[in-house]
Amino acid sequence: MVGAAGHLRGQMIDFQKLTSPELLALHAALAEELRKRGVTRSSNNPVGDLAENIFCRAFGWKQAGKSMRDADATDDAEVRYQIKGRRLTAHNRSRQLGAIRELPKRGFDVLAAVLFREDYRVLRAALIPHSVVVKLAKRVDRTNSWRFLLLDAVWTNPDVRDVTADLVKAEQQWTSAIMKDGTQSP
């Protein structure tokens, strides 16, 4: 893992010696490699794809095709999950998830939400029924969407299921498998 000092598996990486274009090229190459390994489904910001990946690993859900608009995954009982993630950093502690579209149309049954630490490790995760999302989300007319803040109070709702341990376990199993044989399974 890369630490704050720029260490990767014991080797020092001096990011300060790289030019801005070199750093951007490295970022692009990393994003593409994560996509090739199946960690993400695109070469964009990895938070959303990583959230989908880890929830599906933890619960055996099937990721929806890109054409499925409001749900990112389904389980064996055909429960539809919209999956959202947020990475907290020293510079941005906001817990606002990505926009939720057409909330009243009930395009999903459960919001699966995860907060990541700055290094993309799981901090907290929850399964939130659609009815709870409707009560807590705020309409944003400017974007024609709903805003949902994944605050600590969400976990106190009796209908919300804390799945932090499930995601941490899936994360640990995945990391152990990679360290064991050096390969990345999709």
pLDDT of residue 182: 55
CB 85 within 8 Å of CB 144: no
Q: Give this prediction's pTM.
A: 0.84
The pLDDT of residue 94 = 95
CA distance readout (Å), 184 to 38, 55, 174, 180: 8, 17, 8, 10
CB of 120 closer than 8 Å to CB of 87? yes
Distance between CA atoms of 121 and 138, rounded to whole angstroms? 28
- What was the pLDDT predicted at 16? 87
Q: How many other C-beta atoms lie within 10 A of the C-beta of residue 22?
A: 11
pLDDT in tens, the chain (186 residues): 444 345 566 677 888 888 888 888 888 888 888 888 888 887 667 899 899 999 999 999 999 987 678 899 999 999 999 999 999 999 999 999 999 999 999 999 999 999 999 888 999 999 999 999 999 999 999 999 999 999 999 999 999 999 999 999 999 988 776 665 555 554
What is the structure's pLDDT at 11? Answer: 73
Nearest-angstrom CA–CA distance, 184 and 49 = 16
* DSSP-assigned letter for residue 148: -
**Domain chopping of the chain, boundaries:** 1-36, 45-181
Q: What pLDDT sits at residue 10? A: 64
The tens digit of pLDDT for each residue in 73-83 reads 999 999 999 99
Q: Name the DSSP letter for residue 11.
A: E
Kindly report the CATH class assigned to 45-181: alpha beta
